[in-house]
Amino acid sequence: MTMTVEAVPGQKLYRAVVGALRREVESGRFAEAQLLPAERVLCELLDVSRTTLRKAIADLVDEGVLLHRHGAGTFIHRARPRVDQPSSRLTSFTEDMRLRGLEASSRELERGVFLPTPEEAMMLGARPNERVFRLGRLRLADGLPMAIERATIDPIRHRPDVDTLLVTFGLSSMIVGAIEYVWGTGTTLLPPPSPFTGTVDVLGNQYPLYRLVAALVSLLVSAGVFAIIQFTPMGLRIRAITDDPGMAEALGVNIKRLLTLVFGFAAGLAALAGALGSPIFAIHPEMGMNILIDSFLVVVLGGLGSLTGSAIGAFFVALTKSIGGGYFAEWSTAFLFLIVALALIVRPTGVFGQGRVA
């Protein structure tokens, strides 16, 4: 093997040696991570002194062409292509490594629900006795450890009401999409139960009997929910955690268990509403999405946390849609939003002024 030092007039000799060694590395004569030949051998091949060779090797180490490991020697190190990334654009670890020609992977270090550290409690606004979800991963590039990534998530119930709304709305959209992917988007017409078919005379107008029955059942269920919230020990605890969760927990209320029960009960009520509405509206995966906006407006208009306000808000939303649909159907939804917006300007805490600000 021979190496040619192409010296340019006026150029220092060690710089010419730098060029010669760089050309040898770029030509592929040396493999990645290969140990550089001994100084004596290189000095004979290049016909230079050890001082000149060492100065050239030091420059190549600074440039990233060579890699010096103390006690092991100097190795070939083909530098990865430089990645220029504007500070205005954020990339993930995986994308960043891919841009550098590396294959990103990860190894899980910890996963579970833990008591928060002081730093996590401060960042998330969590109480010391509350639990948070923590995920720790070792991030690797081409199998070499590069970073430790930790993510801590506060339970969604500790966040603002808007965050809870957005998360549940997103989950419902995902579930609907999964249902449509598996079972399709078909529509099924379900006839009302045989005892409730036909119509009845209401103020000289024929009205479907089943709709009256569904309305009666809805009123009875609403009255039952109101009675549970207002007149039972469980309802008292529910109202307590709504008004002051910290004080309720200090008095011995199991907030996590109670909220789980409330969520399950609310899901049951939603299922009952779907069953009652099936003979009235066609059954399809998005049948619940059609009334989701109306439900949101009802809660906001009534005041977050106010059951009575929600009942009045539901009546107001239904009345507005009926009147708007009768006179200007194409603009009924916009008219409803306008009315709700004006109402919130006047009473941001709901129609009774007892709810939380939406």
- pLDDT tens for residues 297-317? 888 888 777 777 888 888 888
User: Phi and psi dihedrals of 200, rounded to 5?
Assistant: -130, 160
For the beta carbon of residue 22, count every other beta carbon within 10 angstroms. 16
Tokens of 134: 């923590």
> Quick one: pLDDT band at residue 12, thresholds 50, 70, 90?
confident
What pLDDT sits at residue 1? 57
CB neighbour list of residue 191: distance below 8 Å, 6 or more residues apart: 197, 279
Which residue type does 266 have?
Answer: A
Q: Which numeric CATH code is attached to 13-76?
A: 1.10.10.10
For the beta carbon of residue 301, count every other beta carbon within 10 angstroms. 25
What pLDDT sits at residue 228? 92
Looking at per-residue confidence, does 39 or 358 come out higher?
39
Q: Is pLDDT at 217 greater than 80 in this prediction?
A: yes
Q: How much of the chain, in percent, has pLDDT values that exceed 70?
A: 86
Contact call for residues 134 and 152 (beta carbons, < 8 A): yes
Q: Is pLDDT at 348 greater than 60 in this prediction?
A: yes
What pLDDT sits at residue 66? 82
Q: Which numeric CATH code is attached to 93-154?
A: 3.40.1410.10
What angle (nearest 5°) sits at the alpha carbon of residue 22, between those of residues 21 and 24? 65
Q: Is pLDDT at 155 greater than 90 in this prediction?
A: no
What ranges make up the beta strands (E) of the chain? 66-69, 73-76, 104-114, 132-141, 144-153, 199-202, 205-208
**Span 90-108, pLDDT tens digits:** 567 788 878 777 888 888 8
Q: Is pLDDT at 16 greater than 80 in this prediction?
A: yes
Q: Is pLDDT at 345 greater than 90 in this prediction?
A: no
Give the position of tokens 């910290």: 246
Q: Is pLDDT at 82 greater than 70 in this prediction?
A: no
Q: Report strand pairing: 104-114 vs 73-76.
A: unpaired
What pLDDT sits at residue 224? 93
What pLDDT sits at residue 213? 92
| Domain assignments of the chain as residue spans, ordered by start | 13-76, 93-154, 161-346
What pLDDT sits at residue 165? 73
Which of 94, 111, 112 lies closest to 103, judged by CA? 94
Max mean pLDDT range (79-88, 151-160, 206-215): 206-215
What pLDDT sits at residue 79? 55
Which residue type does 192 have?
Answer: P
> Quick one: pLDDT band at residue 48, thresholds 50, 70, 90?
confident
Looking at per-residue confidence, does 89 or 206 come out higher?
206
pTM of the model: 0.55
What pLDDT sits at residue 280? 86
Q: What rounded mean pLDDT belongs to the chain?
A: 80
Give the position of tokens 């969604």: 156
Which residue type does 20 have?
Answer: A
Comparing 45-54, 70-79, 166-175, which segment has the lowest mean pLDDT? 70-79
CB neighbour list of residue 285: distance below 8 Å, 6 or more residues apart: 176, 179, 180, 183, 185
Contact call for residues 210 and 279 (beta carbons, < 8 A): yes
Which of 61, 51, 4 lies closest to 27, judged by CA? 4
